[in-house]
């Protein structure tokens, strides 16, 4: 498997560009989008002006004022740098995608019948319009997004998905959508163009991963309003301190008041908020999932119910051998041996699963050197397959076909045989009869096997408070059996597109957020209705346009990872907000005593960190306030470690780690900075 390049946190090219972008983002038009950093930038410019004035007038205290101005600018730059690093990682992914595009020429069919032998003319791909019909042959690049209307071909989609294994694309069904920029490896297809240059899937993907179309999500907007409100309140509070200081005959400079304001407003989360949102979408891209908006990522974090198809998601999708049931007078090993030998030349998934079960449970691998003298391939007419080996005839097939081969009716078959066939059929499995010569040996139980890890994953989702619902076209008895084995909370049997849509709407009316995946045109209504609709890249154009996410690996179980990434995004934002607000407590103990200790000596008791001087205390708090942003950038980009625990346990963990940690870390950090500042005589 050949995935696209993954760009690490310390990629030099990204860091170099991010450092330059941090300065470009100092422009007022860009800075004003982040109110907290905008206020910090304004007061930094104000203190810089004071410093320049004091230099011109030859006033004292220049070292202190100059350092405060410098560290305020560093605070803004570090916040810009965090956002630029997050954007840089997305931009690097986008550049890698751009390199997959080339100046492609299309074979535009001219005849209205649009068949392979019709005349065509070469036309640049960028000049195609929706509705054009093009011929794509082996070795050609598919010029634009479209639907296969004739033919079948093997297509290399590694430019989009990162997967080196080719996929089959054919007209009709759910494998008819093709993506511009992919390459046909064999045969030919005729494609009707559905998206032109500039609006293709690849173009939208580039724009999304590079963040060009990223808008703030509702949670981000709400948090920005909260942070802006806190900043305004603290701005008014600090402004009133100047009057209080004058009344108490305390000399408090504007520089000190500005330092107090910047250290108390939530600069930490304000500086990292944008980077957290961008990194959330970037994590999805690393999982080969493209979200059309940050809103979809956040919705994934709040999902209450997951709708998952049974086939290929909960089960493997192929009927696999699960048991050998003997008739009286025979043992399970006899059935396993006969089934094994009858399947030696069977290359179907069912045949290979029979061989694997016989080898794994009965150690029959030493029999693989037996050479069949005659092979009976399976056919739809006979519904029987097998081999002749050393004069012995081994056959397996459908029950009625095998009974006809041995000259028996179902009523003449042993009671154990009949009971096994009935039991397997009732649970949705497929019984295969096995015979050696004219004698029935037993029954093979074929079933769509539940993936072994899926029950554990559903249990983890249940811990998160997420309800899992299996959607299947099976009858209710079969659906109930598989649902019980898989551990899902509910199931919809004999499901139609209308049933899916009705269920989603019913759950949404109860205030729940729903996620589902699909790949067919019949899934499009439900994908559009769901709060998180994950369309498969291998699916139809209608499905991809209806969903708000596209899974490039076409793995329906990825819904679980998408949900975890969404929750991780919300957890990261909440955790760093908690940390940001909590670490202001230590700054009160650092700066408030420094402001008024001369007038009110009793405040010296609040100097629990034993900071060297009032100037050192203020400068240390400002320096720590800037450095903590740069220290938290890796956490903002990587995300807080997610664990599937309940909401109450999650809240306790958040308060303990990031609440208490947000109080303790600044006390230690400010003290360390104070020791350095004092040792070098910087204050």
Answer yes or no: are the C-beta atoms of 303 and 513 closer than 8 Å. Answer: yes
Return the SS3 of 513. Answer: coil
Answer yes or no: are the C-beta atoms of 371 and 390 closer than 8 Å. Answer: no
Answer yes or no: are the C-beta atoms of 97 and 206 closer than 8 Å. Answer: yes
Which H or E element spans position 134? Answer: strand 133-137
Quickly count: other Cβ atoms within 10 Å of residue 41's Cβ: 24
Radius of gyration of the chain (CA): 34
HEC string of 280-341?
Answer: HHHHHHHCCEEECCHHHHHHHHCCCEEEEEHHHHHEEEEEEEEEEEECCCCCHHHHHHHHHH
What are the residues facing 550 on neighbouring strands? 290, 535
DSSP E strand stretches across 336-436: 374-376, 384-389, 392-398, 430-436
Q: Give the CA diameter of the chain.
A: 115
Per-residue CA distances from 327 to 232, 332, 420, 454, 573 (Å): 83, 9, 9, 34, 63
Phi, psi torsion values for 390, nearest 5 degrees = 50, 40
CA dist., res. 154 & res. 144, Å (int): 17
**β-pairing verdict for 490-492 and 145-156:** unpaired
- Write out the two tokens for 86: 């997050």
Quickly count: other Cβ atoms within 10 Å of residue 183's Cβ: 18
- Residues in contact with 523: Cβ distance below 8 Å, sequence separation at least 6, in sequence order: 497, 500, 516, 535, 539, 543, 546
Answer yes or no: are the C-beta atoms of 493 and 476 closer than 8 Å. Answer: yes
Answer yes or no: are the C-beta atoms of 547 and 537 closer than 8 Å. Answer: no
Answer yes or no: are the C-beta atoms of 382 and 405 closer than 8 Å. Answer: no
Catalytic residue of the set 140, 309, 334, 448 = 309
Find the DSSP H helices in 99-128. Answer: none
CA dist., res. 395 & res. 342, Å (int): 6
Answer yes or no: are the C-beta atoms of 354 and 346 closer than 8 Å. Answer: yes
- Write out the two tokens for 397: 């097939």
Answer yes or no: are the C-beta atoms of 82 and 20 closer than 8 Å. Answer: no
Answer yes or no: are the C-beta atoms of 126 and 153 closer than 8 Å. Answer: no
Per-residue CA distances from 65 to 238, 368, 472, 571, 614 (Å): 18, 85, 70, 38, 14
Q: Is residue 553 among the annotated active site residues?
A: no
- Write out the two tokens for 627: 């450095």
Burial class of residue 56 (count of CB atoms within 10 Å of its CB; 0-12, 13-18, 19+): exposed
Annotated binding site for Mg(2+): 519, 523
Q: Hey, what's the torsion of the CAs at 480, 482, 486, 487, to 10 degrees?
A: 10
DSSP E strand stretches across 347-497: 374-376, 384-389, 392-398, 430-436, 439-450, 467-471, 490-492
Annotated binding site: 346, 350, 378-385, 396, 519, 523
What are the residues facing 518 on neighbouring strands? 535
- Between the two ends of the chain, the Cα-to-Cα distance in Å is 57
Annotated binding site for ATP: 346, 350, 378-385, 396
CA dist., res. 508 & res. 526, Å (int): 12
Return the SS3 of 639. Answer: coil
Show which residues are catalytic: 309
């Amino acid at each position: 498997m050949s995935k696209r390049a993954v760009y690490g946190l310390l990629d030099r090219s990204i860091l170099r560009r991010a450092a330059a972008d941090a300065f470009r983002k100092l422009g007022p038009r860009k800075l004003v989008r982040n109110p907290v950093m905008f206020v910090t930038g304004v007061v930094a410019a104000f203190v810089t002006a004071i410093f320049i004035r004091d230099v011109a007038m030859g006033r004292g205290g220049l070292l202190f004022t100059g350092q405060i101005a410098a560290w305020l600018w560093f605070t803004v730059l570090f916040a810009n740098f965090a956002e630029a690093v997050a954007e840089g990682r997305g931009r690097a992914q986008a550049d890698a995608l751009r390199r997959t595009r080339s100046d492609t020429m299309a074979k535009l069919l001219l005849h209205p019948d649009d068949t392979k032998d019709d005349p065509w003319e070469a036309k640049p791909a960028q000049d195609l319009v929706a509705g054009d019909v093009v011929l794509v042959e082996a070795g050609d690049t598919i010029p634009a997004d479209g639907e296969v209307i004739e033919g079948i071909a093997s297509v290399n989609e590694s430019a989009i998905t990162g997967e080196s294994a080719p996929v089959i694309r054919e007209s009709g069904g759910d494998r008819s959508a093709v993506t511009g920029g992919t390459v046909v490896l064999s045969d030919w297809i005729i494609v009707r163009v559905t998206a032109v240059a500039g609006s293709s899937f690849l173009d939208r993907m580039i724009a999304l991963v590079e963040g060009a179309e990223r808008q703030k999500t509702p949670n981000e907007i709400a948090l920005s309003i909260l942070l802006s409100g806190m900043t305004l309140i603290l701005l008014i509070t600090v402004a009133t301190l100047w009057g209080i200081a004058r009344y108490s005959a305390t000399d408090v400079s504007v520089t000190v008041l500005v330092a107090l304001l910047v250290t108390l407003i939530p600069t930490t989360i304000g500086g990292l908020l944008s980077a957290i949102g961008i990194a959330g979408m970037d994590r999805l891209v690393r999982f080969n999932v493209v979200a059309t908006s940050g809103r979809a990522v956040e919705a994934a974090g709040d999902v209450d119910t997951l709708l998952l198809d049974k086939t290929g998601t909960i089960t493997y999708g192929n009927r696999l051998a699960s048991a050998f049931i003997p008739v009286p007078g025979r043992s399970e090993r006899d059935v396993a041996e006969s089934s094994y030998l009858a399947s030696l030349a069977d290359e179907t998934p069912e045949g290979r699963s029979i061989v694997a079960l016989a080898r794994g449970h009965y150690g029959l691998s030493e029999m693989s050197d037996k050479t069949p003298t005659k092979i009976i391939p399976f056919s739809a007419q006979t519904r029987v397959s097998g081999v002749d080996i050393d004069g012995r005839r081994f056959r397996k097939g459908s029950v009625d076909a095998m009974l006809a081969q041995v000259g028996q009716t179902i009523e003449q078959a042993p009671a154990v045989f009949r009971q096994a066939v009935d039991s397997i059929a009732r649970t949705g499995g497929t019984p295969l009869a096995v015979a050696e010569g004219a004698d029935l040996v037993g029954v093979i139980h074929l079933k769509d096997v539940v993936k072994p890890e899926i029950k554990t994953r559903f249990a983890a989702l249940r811990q998160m408070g997420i309800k899992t619902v299996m959607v299947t076209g099976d009858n209710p008895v079969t659906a109930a059996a598989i649902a019980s084995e898989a551990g899902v909370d509910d199931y919809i049997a004999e499901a139609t597109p209308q049933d899916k849509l009705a269920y989603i709407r019913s759950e949404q009316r109860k205030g729940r957020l729903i996620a589902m995946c699909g790949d067919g045109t019949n899934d499009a209504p439900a994908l559009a209705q769901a709060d998180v609709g994950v369309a498969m890249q291998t699916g139809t154009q209608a499905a991809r346009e209806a969903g708000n996410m596209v899974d490039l690996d076409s793995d329906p179980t990825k819904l679980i990872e998408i949900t975890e990434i969404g929750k991780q995004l919300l957890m990261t934002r909440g955790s760093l907000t908690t940390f940001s607000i909590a670490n202001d407590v230590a700054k009160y103990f650092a700066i408030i005593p420094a402001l008024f200790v001369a007038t009110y000596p009793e405040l010296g008791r609040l100097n629990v960190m034993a900071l060297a001087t009032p100037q050192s205390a203020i400068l240390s708090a400002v320096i720590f306030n800037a450095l903590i942003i740069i220290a938290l950038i890796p956490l903002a980009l990587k995300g807080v470690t997610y664990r599937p625990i309940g909401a109450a346990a999650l809240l306790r963990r958040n308060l303990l780690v990031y609440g208490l940690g947000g109080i303790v870390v600044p006390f230690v950090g400010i003290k360390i900075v104070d020791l350095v500042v004092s040792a070098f005589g910087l204050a």
